[in-house]
Structure 1
Amino acid sequence: MLRIITRLNIGGPAIHAILLSSSLNDGGVYKNILVTGSVSESEGDMADFARSKGIDPIVIPGLTREISIKNDFRAFRDIYRLIRKERPDIVHTHMAKAGTLGRFAAIIAGVPVKVHTFHGHVFDGYFNPVKANIFVLIEKLLALFTDKVIMVSERVRADIVNRLKVVSESKSVVIPLGLELDRFAACESEKGSFRKRLGVSPDTLLVGIVGRLVPIKNHRMFLEAAAEMKNSPLWPRVKFVVVGDGEMRGNIEDYAEKLGIKDRLILTGWIEDLAPVYADLDVVALTSLNEGTPVSLIEAMASGRAVISTDVGGVRDLIEDGMNGLLVKSGDAASLSDRLTSLLMDDKLRTELGAKGRGFVINRFSKERLAKDIGLLYGDLIAGKTIK
């Protein structure tokens, strides 16, 4: 089978595709060939992670996130030729561009089983309304020729199936993400190493946000919430840690200076091993304008950290407000600041939320469960086709 993803940039879709390919290969039933496009330097490339899992990706140079008639045609041509060469029984695409070019190529090449995964609410917050409407129409057309469309959460399914009517309910299925969570569940043994790396004391309160530095993640809200805490008695003890890199790094640094909080902010860049990071954070925040199922929250919850997030996309599939984490309205920096302050002042609450969060995610989002679910789906789809 061919698994096609637009790019292996650091983030949930790439981790998902790599672990799924590796796990299915280990199972011995499905031989996965992972196909991907180009990654910009600012995004971080997970190709080495793929190779560490026994997956050597085939790179299609023209396959990029940006729309380009020349590159898109080249990518389509190369994908089609690869499909004709490998003659896969299944083509499974991930992310919008790979989903479009990969499925068109698979349809024309006569691939028996075609599957696509929506990793989030891809039409909101990324494009202007005109482009979004065009992409919805393209997705509706492709769905007619797709055997199964996977959503990573119930809320993503409700959005794609009920609101946008991209695909029929009978063709859709929810299969949550699957991750390697054992390392995070055991992260307490590494407590102190990240603080030592940062040069901060054990009694410093650390609030972290983990992810790509791109507009959709709305780091401005994170910084504004930090600035709201200036008059809090906790202020001298708190530092705010931004883990990740991307196009907005310079804007984040400039905005922090404008808000007068640059001395309280630490930008680490990309960190490959995040378990020690979560072990030393007191609270993990997410301020995104839109999300599918955010990997950083799953990892933080598996690590037993207290989490607080904007109430967007599929976040409610992870967090029940006040039970295993806290939710705030998107864009409401004052509310985020107030609830952060409450968390930082209450050790017991942080511990309780962290424990409940860990219990919620540890089995629901394992890579073993993911491989089993996808394997069963593939089997059902193949059984319904005549495979020559």
Structure 2
Amino acid sequence: MPQLVRIITRMNLGGPARQIEALTPRLCELGFATTILCGPPIEREGELEAEARAGGAELVRIPELQREVGLGGELRARGALRAALARLRPDLVHTHTAKAGWHGRAAARSLGIPCVHTFHGHLLHGYFGCVRAALYRAIERRASRRCAATIAVSRRVREDLIAARIVEARQCTVIHPGLELERFSIAARAPLFPSETLRLLFVGRLVAVKRPLAFVELVHALLRAGIDVEARVLGDGPLREEMLARSAALGLGERCQLLAPTREPSEHFGRCDVVVGTSVNEGLPLALVEAQASGRLVVATDVGGVREAVEHERTGFLVPAEDPRALLEALRRVARDRESAREIAAAGRTSALLRFAAARSAQEHAALYREILAQGRSS
């Protein structure tokens, strides 16, 4: 059985870690044994260690793989990853997230181990100023030359990476995320729009690129427009206190509740009508796919690979990210015509179940792995 090592900065509740959680047992069935190398968790962020182990993975902590940036720490992280790979001697390495990707690819190449890297998104827009963005591009270009292949989670991510000359077109393939969506079937049975109150949900890390403050402002604008709204925010992050302060300043009170991130978001999906995405940059957000699988309506900004999960007016609603009133107008439309919204949400569920199944994604990953391993044997 080929030995696969995955490297990720943290096995938190974010999209990359949830992808690993979903793929591990499926790839085991397809003949790939998995070991996960990851850094330590961060307080209040949540973690999927137990779920990964239950799926058949061995999980090895790399204490040096920290979120903080510093030359000494980066050198220690790379050295620790190289030592772990030298001990494990896997057939293939697959890296995820920026820091784990940079160091993991370098460590694998130094040992002659073929490596795959997944871009679950990128940091080209919405994260850095000009100088840091240029440095990021330079680092990623160098790291990508160390890869046997790269994976983009959406066509838009692939196009952006090629345009930025980070990857070559022949080197990069698109594999859409896959999830075990059957777990959301109970949420899908919960009624949609059971009352006049419009129940909104925001799911994601509370960081600038996700724009949680824009969600708070949206709730306030809907209330001022005379629409009865209850909103929940499911997540945590550095903007937590600022978001709470802004909600209090607007007098939202219980109208906008902050909830801790959870391993099983399905119960929260079942208690809402609309899941709102406010990001300025996305790869392909799993929360929106899960919302669709739960039979909820998705209203989101048209950024990154969102349109590959949400087709405007057929499986959800997309709005321009640069128009501050667009989300408000879309939700006013939903409030006026809830029957059409129910039909669109139902179409979204059908689409998600067909296109984002874990089994399909695992098969595509396994095919790529086998191709890379076969090339290594023939060279």
What TM-score comes out, normalization by structure 1 length? 0.92
Equivalent-residue separation in structure 2 for 1:246 and 1:136 (angstroms): 25
The answer to whether the 8 A contact 2:20-2:52 is kept is no
The residue type paired with residue 141 of structure 1 is R
Per the alignment, do residues 231 and 85 of structure 1 end up closer, same or farther by CA in structure 2, a change over 3 Å counting?
Answer: closer
Distance across 1 between alignment mates of 2:360 and 2:208:
32
In the TM superposition, residue 210 of structure 1 has moved relative to its aligned partner by 0.9
Q: What's the secondary structure of 2:325's corresponding residue?
A: helix
Listed one character per residue, the Cα deviations across residues 131-158 of structure 1 (whole Å, up to 9, x for unaligned) are: 2211211221222221101000000000
The answer for the alignment partner of 2:308 in structure 1 is 317
Give 1:86's aligned residue.
88
Taking the TM superposition and a 5 Å limit, the aligned residue runs for 1:91-170 are 91-111=93-113, 113-161=114-162, 163-170=163-170
Q: Hey, what's the Cα distance between the residues in 1 that align with 2:322 and 2:254?
A: 24
Gaps of 5+ in 1: 196-200
Question: Structure 1, residues 340-362: CA drift from partner, whole Å, max 9, x if none?
Answer: 12212322122111111112111
Measure, in 1, the Cα distance between the counterparts of 2:190 and 2:221: 31
The within-5 A match list for 1:1-388 is: 1-27=4-30, 29-111=31-113, 113-161=114-162, 163-189=163-189, 204-235=197-228, 238-386=229-377
**CA separation in 1, counterparts of 2:256 and 2:368?**
45
- Matched pairs, number: 376
Q: Secondary structure at the match of 1:355?
A: helix
Q: Is the 8 A contact 1:229 1:337 kept in 2?
A: yes
Q: Which runs of 5+ in 2 are unaligned?
A: none
How large is the Cα RMSD of the aligned pairs?
Answer: 2.0
Q: Distance in 2 between matches of 1:215 and 1:176?
A: 25
- 1:190·1:276 contact (CA, 8 Å) conserved in 2? no
Shift of the alpha carbon at 1:101?
Answer: 0.4
Distance (Å, rounded) in 2 between the aligned partners of 1:15 and 1:277: 17
Task: Return 47-56 or 276-285, whichever deviates more.
Answer: 47-56
- Give how far 1:127 is off: 2.3
Q: What whole-Å deviation, never above 9, does each CA across 1:299-341 have from its counterpart, x for those lacking one?
A: 0011111110011111111122111111122253322112112
C-alpha change, 1:33 and 1:339, in structure 2 (3 Å) is same
3-state DSSP of counterpart to 2:313: coil
**Distance in 2 separating the partners of 1:309 and 1:325:** 8
Whole-Å separation in 1 of the counterparts to 2:12 and 2:281: 18
Aligned equivalents of 1:39, 1:331: Cα separation in 2? 34
